[in-house]
A and B are shown apart, each in its own frame.
Chain A
Amino acid sequence: MAWLTLPVDLLSKYLGLFTDVWLTLVFGFLIVPAVFGVPFGIHKYYIKILLSIFEWTTLQMELKAKEKNNQLYKHYTSGIIVKVPDSTLKQEIQDLRCSAGCLSLDPRFELADVFVFCRKALENIIDDDVTKRFSAQKLENWNLLTRSNHNFRYINLQLLALWILGVLIRYGVLLPFRVTVAVTGIFLFVVLSTVVGLIPCTKTYLSDKVHLMGYRLCVRSLTGIVTYHNRENKPKNDGICVANHTTPIDGIVLANDHCYSLVGQLHGGLLGLIQRAMVKSSPHMWFERAEVKDRRLVAKRLRDHVADENKHPVLIFPEGTCVNNTSVMMFRKGSFEIGCTVYPAAIKYDPRFADAFWNSSKFGLMGYLLRMMSSWAIVCSVWYLPPMNRKEGEDAMQFANRVKAAIAAQGGLVDLIWDAGLKRTKVKDTFKEEQQQLYSKILLGDHEYQNHPES
């Protein structure tokens, strides 16, 4: 059966060669530099090439649309209606009533007042500010990923060929590389972290190095290109770091640059294994499921941790859940009640290269990671903001809102009052009661309102 073994021989020889080449490339160019923190260097060119390709593809699509004489359906990233800039209820009613020529706002009821409520309701029915934060942001240019183009149709042969090439590169070349790096990284990290945990002295120094290495490998495995701004404001050991939350990768992106102590629930499986390995060399705070409900316990542990100068700053995401990186939603006040210095950080992902938002109702964690690893790159910017402390007479909620506003302003995100938990629950009646109160004030005139008790 010699003729059978010959092709098998050849196959195994070439396969062996292939694997050798592969391993050399991966270790030589990706893993070893990442372990020692040496930058790879071609990222800038990679990004530039991709951007020029994306511009070309969008141009093609526009040309095609023009041929067919219709407008290219551009997703309006800010909403499908033109909205009146923020005006209060009082202003709007005044505008309406005074359009007939009166000068001031008389405290009485007018039949026309309903117009204002109607318009607001219609605006919200057609396009509200909240629900669109819970689905992926829409792009203006196409980046060769069908997942971001809902209009995908056959345009021309070149575009199709380019897209196929893109798919091949992403799934055939990039994805395997990235998975290899990620697996190696996690393995190394777990082993080294446990080993370092066993060494009694120089524990902090070594564990810092091991942690940073682990995160660096993770970031490389996603082709993460992170730009850190204002590094002089990096968090110090006496406080907590807060940031807006878009994806589980947020933690990795931040921890790539500085060592933090993480807070969270202890999971099972692979994630739990990693968590347990981490805690052997550095004091992270993992809570059992039952403990999470006990807010005082959590607060106490946080307070104790922050008070200890030798421990790293705690990393917290006060929104509580992932939002799609176009806005910052309400911060939970729990972490702001501790009374320590807060170091805010703003994270903004560039949507042209990957959609970083984790829509947990759509995909699980594994599916999400797969999507991330088969995108072009994760490009993001991190801004460290100057530390903030609670002011005299400010309560935790006001402090939280102040921090939130600063983060939103820096990252170019919309600052919303709404709770990100609205992804799953309903709004409380207090909001409606607020509107009713506002309108009542208009009817009575502000002065009179104070004298009228509630019925």
Chain B
Amino acid sequence: EGDEMETPSLEEGGEIRRLGKRFRKLDLDGSGSLRVDDFMSLPELQQNPLVRRIIDIFDTDGNGEIDFIEFIRGVSQFSVRGNQQQKLNFAFRVYDVDKDGFISNGELFQVLKAMVGSNLQDAALQQAVDKTILGADRDGDGRISFHEFCTIVGELDFTKKMVVDV
């Protein structure tokens, strides 16, 4: 549930070509796949607190590197032609660190901590996490499933926010 990889929306030849160029440019050592270091060479990306989560989501086979297919698949989820489901899925996976299909209390805490750094005390963070799970958890299992996630987030107009027009 929510784990299956959707097939990427068809992209025009021009888009793939441009992304291919970009991939080659990012691949500093020419190894054919991108590691965390290659991403971290982008200064603007270094300042993003969630960059490691996003790289982890791209890495579908879990080998620690992003090859070209994973790169295209990852980027296509933000395509103009992508559907709502894909985008919701992506955001869900930011939280679901162990990829078990549920956002646990610990996982939510982990991600929130990454976003605020040392600016909030752990106790306050834990409060926020507990409150969020309480509000979202319908079936009472103490964690948020994909379905529950969509119910909370689905009302918002996030399609604009989750689109990158290549």
Contacts of A119 in B (CB 8 A): 78, 161-164
Report the separation of the CA atoms of residues A136 and B14 in the bound assembly, to the nearest whole angstrom: 21
Across the interface, do B44 and A117 meet the contact criterion of CB distance under 8 Å?
A: no
Contacts of B165 in A (CB 8 A): 81-82
Across the interface, do B119 and A440 meet the contact criterion of CB distance under 8 Å?
A: yes
Q: Is the interface of A mostly helix, strand, loop or mixed?
A: helix
Across the interface, do A100 and B121 meet the contact criterion of CB distance under 8 Å?
A: no
Per-position binary interface string of chain B over residues 114-147, scored 1 when its CB falls under 8 Å from any chain A CB and 0 otherwise: 0111111110100011011000100000001000
Q: Which of A81-113 contact B (CB under 8 A)?
A: 81-82, 92, 95-97, 99-100, 108-113
- B42 close to A (CB within 8 Å): yes
Report the separation of the CA atoms of residues A454 and B41 in the bound assembly, to the nearest whole angstrom: 29
Given contacts A111-B149, A431-B43, A455-B121, contact A436 B128 (CB under 8 A): no
Across the interface, do A73 and B164 meet the contact criterion of CB distance under 8 Å?
A: no
Across the interface, do A440 and B48 meet the contact criterion of CB distance under 8 Å?
A: no
Contacts of B90 in A (CB 8 A): 118
Across the interface, do A455 and B136 meet the contact criterion of CB distance under 8 Å?
A: no
Across the interface, do B120 and A443 meet the contact criterion of CB distance under 8 Å?
A: yes
Per-position binary interface string of chain A over residues 51-89, scored 1 when its CB falls under 8 Å from any chain B CB and 0 otherwise: 000000000000000000001010000001110000000
Across the interface, do A432 and B115 meet the contact criterion of CB distance under 8 Å?
A: no
Distance from B28 Cβ to chain A, minimum over Cβ atoms (Å)? 10
Contacts of A127 in B (CB 8 A): 22
- A392 close to B (CB within 8 Å): no
User: How many A residues face the partner with a CB closer than 8 A?
Assistant: 53
Report the separation of the CA atoms of residues A192 and B62 in the bound assembly, to the nearest whole angstrom: 69
Contacts of A99 in B (CB 8 A): 156-158, 160
- B152 close to A (CB within 8 Å): yes
Across the interface, do B157 and A126 meet the contact criterion of CB distance under 8 Å?
A: no
Report the separation of the CA atoms of residues A100 and B83 in the bound assembly, to the nearest whole angstrom: 19
- B102 close to A (CB within 8 Å): no
Q: Which residue of B lies closest to A71 (CB)?
A: B14
Of listed B49, B51, B131, B158, residue having the most chain A CB within 10 A: B158
Given contacts A437-B119, A444-B120, A454-B119, contact A117 B152 (CB under 8 A): no
Q: Which residue of A lies closest to B39 (CB)?
A: A125
Contacts of B45 in A (CB 8 A): 121, 124-125, 128
Distance from B117 Cβ to chain A, minimum over Cβ atoms (Å)? 3
Report the separation of the CA atoms of residues A92 and B160 in the bound assembly, to the nearest whole angstrom: 11
Q: CB < 8 Å: which of A92, A121, A131, A422 contacts B51?
A: A121
Q: CB < 8 Å: which of A81, A118, A454 contacts B91?
A: A118
Across the interface, do B119 and A426 meet the contact criterion of CB distance under 8 Å?
A: no
- B99 close to A (CB within 8 Å): no
Across the interface, do A443 and B128 meet the contact criterion of CB distance under 8 Å?
A: yes
Across the interface, do B18 and A432 meet the contact criterion of CB distance under 8 Å?
A: no
Q: Which residue of B lies closest to A92 (CB)?
A: B161
Of listed B39, B118, B129, residue having the most chain A CB within 10 A: B118
Q: Which residue of A lies closest to B161 (CB)?
A: A115
Given contacts A112-B153, A126-B22, contact A427 B43 (CB under 8 A): yes
- A439 close to B (CB within 8 Å): yes
- A130 close to B (CB within 8 Å): yes
- B25 close to A (CB within 8 Å): yes
Given contacts A121-B50, A418-B43, contact A436 B115 (CB under 8 A): yes
Across the interface, do B75 and A122 meet the contact criterion of CB distance under 8 Å?
A: yes
Q: Which of B13-29 contact A (CB under 8 A)?
A: 14, 17-19, 22, 25-26
- A433 close to B (CB within 8 Å): yes
Q: CB < 8 Å: which of A82, A109, A114, A116 contacts B132?
A: A109
Across the interface, do A432 and B153 meet the contact criterion of CB distance under 8 Å?
A: no
Q: CB < 8 Å: which of B17, B42, B152 contacts A128?
A: B42
Report the separation of the CA atoms of residues A129 and B43 in the bound assembly, to the nearest whole angstrom: 9
Report the separation of the CA atoms of residues A433 and B120 in the bound assembly, to the nearest whole angstrom: 12
Given contacts A100-B155, A111-B136, A112-B153, contact A118 B94 (CB under 8 A): yes
Of listed A81, A100, A117, residue having the most chain B CB within 10 A: A117
- Which A positions have Cβ atoms within 8 angstroms of B? 71, 73, 80-82, 92, 95-97, 99-100, 108-131, 418, 422, 426-427, 431-437, 439-440, 443-444, 452, 454-455
Q: Nearest 6 pairs between A and B by C-beta? A: A436-B117, A99-B157, A440-B119, A431-B47, A455-B121, A427-B43
Please, could you name 6 A-B residue pairs with CB atoms under 8 Å apart, sorted by A?
A112-B91, A117-B49, A124-B45, A436-B116, A436-B118, A439-B115
